[in-house]
Structure 1
Amino acid sequence: MVDTNKIADRASELADQAVQAAGPALERAKEVAGELVEKAGPYLEKAGPYLEKAGQAAAQGVAAAADQIDKVTGGKYTGTISSVASKIENTLDRTPKV
């Protein structure tokens, strides 16, 4: 017989690990994105349409990842997942518009 409490506890542990791992990754992603924007300055005008498409695709990826994590955690961390996803999407929205 499967002990659902053990499964739930393990899922909770994995979700906690995912949330903890996401924090530093998000900060590093912001740093890298900032550095890339600086370096890309001269090319932004030419790349504008591509940046917009990439931002949209990234936002869709963030939403899909958030949905999957929410399903895996059984909705236990819906608020936290939604908050992190919104912050990432807001960062994506700050991509310079050309």
Structure 2
Amino acid sequence: MSNFLDKAKELAAQARERGGSVAEKVGDAAAKGVGVIADKADEMTGGKYTEKIEDVSEKIEGVLDPNGNTKKDDDK
């Protein structure tokens, strides 16, 4: 029974490690998507709400990627 619990703990640790890296990748991609959407919204409104759109998109990107790893301007 001890071997079973040890193996279960090991597998759980591996799942946490893999899940964390997947979450980081998804968060970064989602944050980049928000940037694209913000740019399109700004274009569609003729720049009328640029400041508000930027403020909201930055807040959303910060939630999706709290480490600030997005490179929205570099990836265009």
Distance in 1 of aligned mates of 2:40 and 2:28: 18
- Structure (1/2) with the larger helix percentage: 1
Which entry has the higher C-alpha Rg, 1 or 2? 2
Give ranges in structure 1 of 5+ residues lacking alignment.
1-42
Alpha carbon RMSD of aligned pairs, Å? 1.7
Of the three residues 7, 18, 27, the one matched with 1:55 is 27
Gaps of 5+ in 2: 1-14, 68-76
- Could you state the TM-score of these two structures normalised by the residue count of structure 2? 0.62
Query: Share of identical aligned residues, percent?
Result: 49
Q: Provide runs of 4+ in structure 1 moved above 6 Å.
A: none
Structure 1 equivalent of residue 63 of structure 2: 91
One-letter identity of the residue aligned with 1:84: V
Q: Would you say how many aligned residue pairs link Structure 1 and Structure 2?
A: 53
Q: Normalising by the residue count of structure 1, what TM-score does the alignment of the two structures yield? A: 0.49
Given that 2:38 and 2:57 are in contact with CA atoms closer than 8 Å, whether structure 1 keeps it comes out as: yes
